[in-house]
Structure 1
Amino acid sequence: MTRTGTPPRRTLRVLLAGGALALALTSCGAPTAEEAAAPGPGGGAAAETGPHASHAPSGGPAGAASGQVPSSHVHGVGVNPADGLVYVATHDGLFRFDATGPVRVGGVNDLMGFTVAGPDHFYASGHPGPGSDLPNPLGLVESTDAGATWQPLSRQRESDFHTLTASDAGVLGFDGTLRASPDGETWTELPMPAAPFSLAVSPDGSTVLGTTEDGPLRSQDAGRTWERVAAAPLLMLVDWADGATVVGLTPDGRTAVSADAGLTWELRGEVGGRPQALSASGEGDDLSVVAVGDAMVLTSADGGRTY
């Protein structure tokens, strides 16, 4: 999650000048066993999706060019506060969307987990691609140059984090076990009642939401204890927009927004099809959403009501 303030609203004007961002994606392949257990309509299986991804600038991203994402699997989406552009983490590496469309950033690695921690500062996990000298699995890797290069931090050849989220307090990841790290190097195991499909942590690190096939779980003590959110719809993806506002996507692509840190939710517009990745920022009239739906990357500048 991005923790460096909100970029200027000029990004929205750049985006809307070309209309809503709609980027065609190639279809996803067969899901893994973990992905097949993800929450689907009515509690069933859902399509493969990306993990929690970090915040978009207020009003939406600057990268408004349309085009196909050159990968069959999208695992995450985030916006880099250093340039205001959308970054998409995929089975075939990281892609930045600028005025010319998608541009590969760095090597061809399968980025199963991905989150933006600050300007040009990313965390990821997954598997090395052809020609990569990174270990398999990657464990937690870090980039401080917007994905151009990655440095192993910890748990190399041990962890493939399929969902990652970051806050001012550190990093949370799930590799079959929920793990927390203040520095990306030392880890503490945390209990969780069910395997999360995605994780999202509040900016200060105190409140965590995790989506499961039985509904979202919520922790108010940084992941040490959990409760089910009875008033929430079934959610596949969640992201914190600010300290109190959370955006979620249901398995059938409806947008849900909470103004009280995930306790109660309002259903809004639809992204269309099954969601794959999500990023949110701002609050109230300035709530902005970037969502990867079925074959599209979409943005909403009105809090998820229209895309």
Structure 2
Amino acid sequence: MSGGTAMSRTTRRSRRATLAVSLTATVSLVLAACGGDDTTSTTASSPAGADPGIGHIHGLGVDPADGAIYVAAHYGVFRIIGQDRAARVAGRFQDTMGFTIVGPKTFLASGHPAAAEMAKGARPHLGLLRSADAGATWTEVSEGGSADFHGLQPAGTKLYAFDSQTGQVRRSDDEGRKWIIGARLQVVDLAAHRNRPDRVHATTPEGVQVSDDGGATFTKASGTPLLSHLDAVDGGGLVGVGVDGQVHSGRPGDGSWQRLGRLPGGQATAFTAVDARRLLAATEDGSVHESRDGGRSFTMAYRPAPN
């Protein structure tokens, strides 16, 4: 082994350790915001006086009914109208922590009510909600008052989620009406695909973990880069982004991960693969970036007005 090679490996290990610390901090911030202190989490999720804007973005999706981009955020669900315009859906200010679009105008969500709703006696956690009209109205499916689901991830007939209140991965085989309790992990994001619904990946501070038994147990996915967010695409591939904004794609288990482009604005707060070529990512400043070439380059889909 040459001195240069040893130095290179030392540098890679040091960089991975730095990224792991950043990812651990991300997990801690998310879980602290959704932890046992209900007053803190729900009060922060509602406006006081002037419109607070979007706030921290937790989820992204595209409605196949019309191709519109939707943003799930600290102050509600928003429809992106232009690079500088986003419309809050139905005037709702709920803190939408979990979000996914499962069909035309059909959304799933979770999180916390707005403070105004809490003041009227609303329970602190939304459980799983479903909308059949693009977020205009919502119906409780399950776990209202007890569960705060992050990383909502459909996979064929299965639905995966991470419950921040118990720290456990969950799986539903009936569209979220009943849940099977899975492994306990520090999860940032989940990824699964309809073609292999029993397999689910999780991004954690220890690296990407994989389960082949529907989330009951997880093991480390060998050869994967350290990622904060991850999604599964057609053909068995995975695409994700690291805490440094670097986009990676690869196939589970073979170690052949490719470094693609870099996300403008650095660390992602939300990420989704609409398909293998179209990616959406939100960054800490509230911007939404879109790639049409599988993550090699990004354009601005939405930028919030400066404070």
Which of the five TM-score ranges fits, normalised by the shorter chain? 0.7 to 0.9
Structure 2 residue corresponding to 1:201, chosen from 189, 192, 195:
192
Cα drift, residue 139 of structure 1:
0.7
Distance 2:230 2:282 in 1: 13
1:89–1:137 CA distance, 2 compared to 1 (3 A): same
Counterpart in 2 of 1:6?
Answer: none
RMSD: 2.4
- Tell me which residue corresponds to 1:220: 212
Identify the residue that residue 298 of structure 1 maps to in structure 2: 289
- Are 1:246 and 1:261, in contact at CA under 8 Å, matched by a contact in 2? no
Q: Determine if contact 1:75/1:113 at 8 Å carries over to the other structure.
A: yes
Q: Distance in 2 between matches of 1:253 and 1:180?
A: 29
The structure with more radius of gyration: 2
Sequence identity percentage: 35
Tell me how far apart the structure 1 counterparts of residues 159 and 225 of structure 2 sit (CA, whole Å).
Answer: 26
Q: C-alpha distance in 1, partners of 2:155/2:294? A: 22
**1:241–1:268 CA distance, 2 compared to 1 (3 A):** same
- Structure number having the greater helix percentage: 2
Counterpart residue identity of residue 104, structure 1: R
| 2:263 alignment partner, one of 264, 271, 296 | 271
Within the candidate set 134, 148, 151, 1:146 is matched to 134
Give the SS at the match of 1:206: strand
Query: What is the aligned counterpart of 1:112 among 92, 97, 107?
Result: 97
Q: What is residue 12 of structure 2 aligned with on the other side?
A: none
Could you tell me which residue of structure 2 aligns to residue 158 of structure 1? 146
- Partners of 1:140 and 1:185 in 2: how far apart? 8
What SS class does the counterpart of residue 41 from structure 1 fall into?
helix
| Residues 126 and 262 of structure 1, relative CA distance in 2, 3 Å threshold | farther
Quick check: which one's strand share is greater? Answer: 2
* Structure 1 residue 293, shift from structure 2 partner: 2.3
Task: Give unpaired runs (5+ residues) of structure 2.
Answer: 1-16, 32-51, 299-307
Shift of 1:236: 0.2
Q: Which residue of 2 aligns with 1:281?
A: 274
- CA deviation after TM superposition for structure 1 residue 260, in Å: 4.7
Cα deviation for residue 169 of structure 1 reads 1.8
Contact 2:270–2:283 (Cα < 8 Å) also in 1: yes
The two structures have a TM-score, normalised by structure 2, of 0.74
Q: Aligned pair count?
A: 247
**What's 1:237 paired with?**
229
Alignment of 1:95 onto 2:78: yes
Q: Give 1:261 shift.
A: 7.7
**Structure 1 counterpart of 2:60, which letter?**
V
Contact persistence 1:240–1:281 (CA under 8 A) = no
Query: Which string of whole-angstrom CA distances, capped at 9 and with x for unpartnered residues, describes residues 50-74 of structure 1?
Result: 9xxxxxxxxxxxxxxxxxx922211
Native 8 Å contact 1:243 1:261 kept in 2: no
CA distance in 1, matches of 2:244, 2:127: 31
Paired with 2:146 and 2:189, the residues of 1 have a C-alpha distance of: 20
* Alpha carbons of structure 1 residues 252 and 228: separation in structure 2 relative to 1, 3 Å: same
Q: CA deviation at 1:243?
A: 4.3
- Report the Cα offset of residue 262 of structure 1: 8.3
Partner-residue secondary structure (3-state), 1:207: strand
Q: CA deviation at 1:240?
A: 1.7
Output aligned runs, 1:53-68, within 5 Å: none
Q: 1 or 2 for the larger relative contact order (CA 8 Å, sep ≥6)?
A: 1
Q: Which runs of 5+ in 1 are unaligned?
A: 1-38, 51-68
State whether residues 49 and 75 of structure 1, in contact with CA within 8 Å, keep that contact through their aligned partners in structure 2: no
